[in-house]
Chain A
Amino acid sequence: MPITVAGKTIETDEEGYLSNRTDWNEEVAKEMAKVDNCDLSQNHWEVINFLREYYDEYQIAPAVRVLTKAIGKKLGPDKGNSKYLYELFPYGPAKQACKYAGLPKPTGCV
C-alpha cells in the first residue's frame, strides 16, 4: 500500500506503517493523516515530535503513561491524560500517532 508524497512513492506495510523509517518527513505524516481524514494540528505535532524524540533515544515508542505525562508537562495538566490523546488520535494514541510519526506499530497485547 504505497503512498505518494511530492511525486515520490513511499512504501508502507499492509496497515499503512512506513516500511523504511528513514522515508519519514512532515509531508509524509500529513499524507498519512489525510488517508484517515485527519488534519494535523499543532497539538498533533507535539505528540508526533515527542514520539520521534523518544524513539530516537530508546528505539521503541513510549508507554502510554510516559506519553501522557510528557504531553501533560508540555501542554498543561488537563491534556496529560489518555482521554485527550484519544480525542487527537481516535484509533488509539499508541498506534495511530506512531504511524504518523513513521514508527513501527507497537506489537503485543496492546
Chain B
Amino acid sequence: MANFEVPVLGEYQVLPHVHPDTMAKSKPYVAKPDIQAGVGFPGELVPDWENVAVKKLGDLVSQSRALQVFLDSCVKCGACTDKCHYYLGTSDPKNMPVARQDLLRSVYRRYYTFAGKFFPKLVGARDMTKDVLDEWYSYFHQCSQCRRCSVFCPYGIDTAEISMAARDVMDAVGVGQKYSNEIIGKVHKIGNNLGLPEPALADTLAGLEEDVKDETGVDVKFPLDVKGAEVLVITPSADFFAEPHIDGLIGYAKVFHAAGTSWTLSSHASEAANFSMFIGSHENLHRAALRIREAALDLGVKRIIVGECGHAWRVAYSFWNTLIGPFDFLDQRYPIPQHICEFTYDLIQRGALTLDKSANDDKVVTFHDSCNVSRASRMGNMPGGQFKIPREVIKACVNKFYDMAPDTIHENTFCCGGGGGLLTDDLMELRVKGAQPRMQALKQVVDEYGVNHVAAICAICKSQFTKVLPYYKFPMDMIGSVHGLVSKAIRLGPKN
C-alpha cells in the first residue's frame, strides 16, 4: 500500500532516536507560473532572488513584532523538541520545532543582527543560498502550523508564524507550493477551493434536499443566495463535495430547520477556508475573506455562522474583525462570527432540539480537537469553550463518548497530520507519518473502550483521517462530522 515505512503503533508513544535527513527528500510540487500569477506572485525564481528574499524577510520582521521576538528569544532549552507530530512520526531532527525555526533564524541572524553580520560562524548565521532555499522548501512544508510546540515553549515562540513567514518569502521570490496556491487562485476566481461554480452548487444542494426528504419525510431546505435570510452560513466547500463532510452540512440544515431560523449559503462566498493564512500572505487573506463581507452585505443577513472548518474558524474568530470589519451591519446581540457548534449548543441548552441519542448507539465516539480551533480561537463565553462546546454537542447526541489521553486533547491536541496546506497527495509519506501520534492516542481508546468513531470539526482533519486511517489498520469511515452525529440524532417532527 505504501512505498515507505508506515510507523507501527505500540502500547504507548515512543520518543524516537534522531535519524537525520530522513525527510530531506519530501517536497510538494512547485506551483507553475499560471498558478503563481493567480495569487500575485512571480512565476519563477526572480533575478537577484537572494537579495529579494533577504529584503522580504526584513520587511516581515519590521512589520511584525511577534515574528521578531520569536526569532530573537529562543534559548535552545529543548522543551519543544519532542512536541511536533512530524518529528515524532519521522524522527528527522529538522522536524524538531527549534530546528525548523533555526532554518529561518540563521538567515535572519546573518543579515539583521550585529553578531551575525560580523561573526556569522559563532552564532550559526547562514547566507541565503539556493541550498538554504531548497531546505526551506522541504521543511517549511513539513510544518502544519498547528502550534502545539508553542504551548510548551517557555517563551511562547510560535513556529507557525515562522513557517508562514518562510512561505511568504519563498512566494515573493517565485517559489510557491502548487497545492495551496492553486486553491487560493480558485477562491479568487470562482469563490471556493474546489472551483465549484454556482450551477453545480445549486444542483448539489437540490440533491441533498431530495435525500433528506427521502430519509425523514421532512422538507429541509438548503437555501442558496436567499436575500433577507437571517443567517449567512460560511462553510468549507468540502462540505458540499466530500464524505463524511456532507453529513455535517446536512446536520446544519436540520438544526436550522428545527430552530426555525432562516439561513442561506452564498455562491459568491462559498468557502470558509482561507489557505492564504498557510502561506502567510496578508493580501490574499484579505482578498479571499472580503468575499464574505460582500456576500453578507449583498444578502442583507443579520448574522454569520461558520461551519466545521478548523483554520477558517481561526481566521473568522481572530482575524475577521480587523480584516473585513467592522460588522456594525450585523445583529450585535449574537456573537460575530458564531460557530455552528455554538449555535447548536445554545439550542440544546434551551431544550429547543429533540435529540434521540439511541440513533447513534452503533457508535462509541471520541473527539479529535482540531489545532486551529483549540490553540488559536475560542467558542462561547467561557475559557476552554472551544473544547467544551463541541463535546457537549456530541454528548447530547450519543450515549457512548470517551476522550483520548489528556496530553493529546484540548490545547495539547495532536494535529491530524494534514493541516497547514499539506493535505496533498504529493506529501503522503509526511501525512501518514505525521498522523502517528494521533493514531497512537486513538488506538488506546479503541483498545480500552471500543471506540469506533472519531468526530471532528475540520474539513482537513476529516479528509486526512479518511486517507490515513487505513494505513494504521483502522476503517476509513471511522471519521465523521460532529454535525453528522447531530443529523442522525435530531428528530424533526412529531411523526419522524
Contact = CB atoms under 8 A, between A and B. Distances in A.
Contacts of A109: 193, 236-238, 242, 245, 273, 309, 423, 459-460, 462-463
Interface stretch (B49-57, B124-132, B200-208): B200-208
Contact of B192 (A14, A65, A108): A108
Contacts of A106: 194, 241
B241 A64 contact: yes
Contacts of A64: 241-243, 246
A108 B467 CA distance: 14
A107 B180 CA distance: 9
Interface string A59-73: 110111110010000
Contacts of B289: none
A66 B203 contact: yes
B197 interface: yes
A16 to B, nearest CB: 10
Interface in A81-99: 82-83, 86, 92, 94-95
A60 B207 contact: no
A69 B211 contact: yes
Contacts of B460: 109
B451 to A, nearest CB: 21
A60 B195 CA distance: 7
A58 B199 contact: yes
Interface in B451-496: 459-460, 462-463, 467, 476-477
A94 B463 CA distance: 12
A65 B245 CA distance: 10
B243 A60 contact: no
Interface string B434-459: 00000000000000000000000001
B468 to A, nearest CB: 13
A95 B240 contact: no
B200 A59 contact: yes
Interface in B419-435: 423, 425-426
A6 interface: no
Interface in A6-58: 14-15, 57-58
Contacts of B208: 65
Instruction: Bin chain B's interface residue count.
Output: 35 or more
Contacts of A14: 29, 178, 426
A64 B476 CA distance: 15
Nearest to B460: A109
Contacts of B243: 64-65, 82
Interface string B221-246: 00000000000000011101111011
B315 to A, nearest CB: 14
Nearest to A104: B195
A110 B463 contact: yes
Interface string B306-340: 00010000000000000000000000000000000
Nearest to A86: B476
Contacts of A58: 197, 199-200, 203
A100 to B, nearest CB: 16
A63 B182 contact: no
Given A63-B241, A64-B241, A65-B208, A107 B246 contact: no
B426 A15 contact: yes
Contacts of A60: 194-197, 200
A63 B195 CA distance: 12
A92 B464 CA distance: 12
Nearest to B204: A63
A94 B199 contact: no
Nearest to A106: B194
B363 interface: no
B183 interface: yes
B175 to A, nearest CB: 16
B400 interface: no
B186 interface: yes
B196 A107 contact: no
A108 B246 contact: no
A64 B196 CA distance: 13
A45 to B, nearest CB: 23
A18 to B, nearest CB: 15
A60 B238 CA distance: 13
B373 to A, nearest CB: 14
Contacts of A94: 241-242
Which are the 5 A-B pairs with shortest beta-carbon distances?
A: A108-B193, A109-B459, A58-B200, A109-B238, A110-B242
25 contacts: A14-B178, A14-B426, A60-B200, A62-B200, A63-B207, A63-B241, A64-B242, A65-B211, A65-B246, A69-B207, A95-B425, A107-B182, A107-B194, A108-B183, A108-B186, A108-B192, A108-B236, A108-B237, A108-B241, A108-B273, A108-B459, A109-B237, A109-B423, A109-B462, A109-B463
Interface of A: 14-15, 57-60, 62-66, 69, 82-83, 86, 92, 94-95, 106-110
Interface of B: 29, 178-179, 182-183, 186, 192-197, 199-200, 203-204, 207-208, 211, 236-238, 240-243, 245-246, 273, 309, 423, 425-426, 459-460, 462-463, 467, 476-477
Given A63-B207, A107-B183, 7 more contacts: A58-B203, A60-B195, A106-B194, A109-B238, A109-B245, A109-B423, A109-B459
